[in-house]
Structure 1
Amino acid sequence: MVRARERRTGRVWRVRRLSRFIRTEFNTMESNYMKFRYVIWDFDGTLFDTYPAMIQAFERGLADFGVSVPRARIAALMANTLAICLETLCREYSLEPEALDERVSYYHQQTTMDQEPPFPGAMQVCERLVAAGGQNFLFTHRSRDSMLRFMDHYHMAPLFADCLSVEDGYPRKPDPAGFIALIEKHHLLREQGLAVGDRTLDILAGQGAGVRTCLFNAVPDAEVQPDYVIQTFAELETILGVVDL
């Protein structure tokens, strides 16, 4: 009876070892079929849905000066940079940039991080890429403190191998210097990389760095064509080959 129990126990352990081996081999095979091994992400408007709060801050700041601007107009200007948005509105409505900037900043500081969450599926695609043996990187025009507060609040920091912010001193996109720095620092292969962003300048930076590009939640510029255009991160999972991992 004891020997029979030992034989059964031995069979159970062999089955468990075989099961672990199969899972490991399957994950390795899945990883080998991945089209891209790393993603260089944009922050605002790509990973995090921050634009609505920013637009509202501009609306409220402009209202303090008796100015009303359609949300679509503000959004279109912000698609370039916040600085261009501010400068253009001040020029068009004869406002002092410092004064408008102060009011916009005041209202935006009242926004909580819960009002600027990650886009649906953003965390999942980052998790699945890491689980498949890939890496996430981030290059943003935000300050490091602001970036880390968001990443820590939403528990996303461990999913990123490296993040560059404005303090790192690289030129703003569309200059590819920040992307190139990440590629060279981590000895990445350009043919295995994908840059994901929501603006033309993100696509130009990726193209300048020699990686493939993916435009999220936007219409491509007629003169700057990305390799992929997506509206959801479920589509990105398919592109990366990390579906159901």
Structure 2
Amino acid sequence: MNILWDFDGTLFDTYPAYSRIFSHVLGGRAAEVEIYKKLKVSFSHAIDHYGLSEEQIDEMNRLEEKLQPADIVPFESVEEVLKLANKNVIMTHKDRKGVLAILQYYGWEEYFSDMVTIDDGFPRKPDAASYRYLHEKYGIDLAIGDREIDLIPANELGIRTCIFQGTSKAADYSLASYDKFQNIIDFDLLKKENL
């Protein structure tokens, strides 16, 4: 199975750190739990919702750059899923340097055959161009993301989708935790046997 992964909120639990930064920039005028919900839609959604100025966005970017790889924690059992896959690729709006620093910190760079980052010049999700590129190169079987915006491009290309810690009509599967991933594999094997 070849898997396309989103990064933030899918491989790594980055939203708590981003929510703290957002709250700091807002001067504490919004609860981190509420910010978290807005960020799960998208960063631009949260920025628009709270009406951040250019100066505040710049401050957020500066604070985000100060995050250390140790501040970004992988989700429990996700490494076991990475080991199960034939190939793993990443599509993220993060910069390549930041992604590589985190992967290297955890010793995970060996799990990934390729990645598309914001540095590669593809349009942002939900545009399917970056997914198409990775799919044509690797024959993606499953796309995993934590937001609907991560699944829409895969749907457009006919790739099965899995939403992590959420719900979406765009998802073929949903997972609350990665220790249940085997159920997806078993389900697909069962479907094939019944054909």
Calculate the TM-score normalised by the size of structure 2. 0.88
Q: Aligned-pair distance for 1:205? A: 1.5
Cα distance in 2 for residues equivalent to 1:235 and 1:86 = 33
1:123-155: per-residue Cα shift (whole Å, max 9, x none)? 1210122xxxx1111111111111111111111
Count of residues paired in the alignment: 186
Structure 1 counterpart of 2:13, one-letter code: D
Cα distance in 1 for residues equivalent to 2:61 and 2:132 = 32
Cα distance in 2 for residues equivalent to 1:240 and 1:169 = 33
1:67-112: per-residue Cα shift (whole Å, max 9, x none)? 511223312221232233123212xxxx5x2221133234334432
Residues 1-245 of structure 1: pairs in structure 2 closer than 5 A = 37-63=1-27, 68-90=29-51, 97-129=53-85, 134-186=86-138, 188=139, 193-220=141-168, 224-241=169-186
Report the identity percentage: 29
Cα distance in 2 for residues equivalent to 1:169 and 1:71 = 31
Cα distance in 1 for residues equivalent to 2:15 and 2:64 = 11
Q: Which has the larger radius of gyration?
A: 1
Q: 1:57–1:105: 8 Å Cα contact kept in structure 2?
A: no
Cα distance in 2 for residues equivalent to 1:237 and 1:50 = 24
Cα distance in 2 for residues equivalent to 1:109 and 1:162 = 23
Cα distance in 1 for residues equivalent to 2:59 and 2:121 = 27
Q: 2:155–2:170: 8 Å Cα contact kept in structure 1?
A: no
- What value does the CA root-mean-square deviation take over the aligned residues? 1.7
Cα distance in 2 for residues equivalent to 1:103 and 1:143 = 17
Structure 1 gaps, min length 5: 1-36
Structure 1 counterpart of 2:117, one-letter code: S
Q: Aligned-pair distance for 1:122? A: 1.1
Calculate the TM-score normalised by the size of structure 1. 0.71
- Hey, what does 1:20 align to over in structure 2? none
Cα distance in 1 for residues equivalent to 2:161 and 2:126 = 13
Structure 1 counterpart of 2:104, one-letter code: D
- Hey, what does 2:192 align to over in structure 1? none
Structure 2 gaps, min length 5: 187-195
Structure 1 counterpart of 2:58, one-letter code: E
SS of equivalent to 1:215:
strand
